[in-house]
Amino acid sequence: MKKYLPWVLVALVVIIGFTSYNSMVTQRNEAEKTWANVESAYQRRADLIPNLVSTVKGYASHEKETLEGVINARAKATSTTIDPSNMTPESIAAFQQSQAGLSSALSKLMVVVERYPDLKANQNFLELQSQLEGTENRINVERNRFNQAATDYKNLIQKLPNALYAGILGFKPLPLFEAVAGSDVAPTVEF
């Protein structure tokens, strides 16, 4: 019996290792899938913008600077991508910054729209605005789902016995979305 004990222990360590590895792969893949959903939601927003700009252009053609700002911000936002297998806090921050630039440009566009009552009443514009608002909500939901999946994955790889294998096998935590600097300060509204 004693001569089999080392083999039993080795077999137990191997079985636990395989089980841990499979669990970590599954959880990491789930987190990467939720990241793809985040990118998909942002892409939906980017896809709506050309139609929105086109509609606004018809009513506010002399607002060229604002319209170009939205187009340029969209181009920057869609060019910033992240490889989910190599996420870093810096890459998430760069992604957030490019998306924040687009959000800011869209906010400026909506301020311009306030000057054009006919545009605000245009059915096509109202529908696009509604779709954009719905997309912003989807983005928030997908970001929250990603943060949850990344947290679940982080918990899995940091708990024993998985923590023993995670470092050896190269499993690292994924960064989370965080609030953009200054978002804790309420904007000043003046009339």
* Domain architecture of the chain: domains with CATH: 5-169 (1.20.1440.20)
Q: Supply the pLDDT for residue 182.
A: 59
For the CA atoms of 115, 118, 120, 125, the dihedral, rounded to the nearest 10 degrees, stands at -120
CB 149 within 8 A of CB 31: yes
pLDDT digits (tens, 9 = 90+) for 162-191: 999 998 999 999 999 887 665 555 444 343
pLDDT digits (tens, 9 = 90+) for 41-86: 999 999 999 999 988 888 887 788 888 999 999 999 999 889 888 8
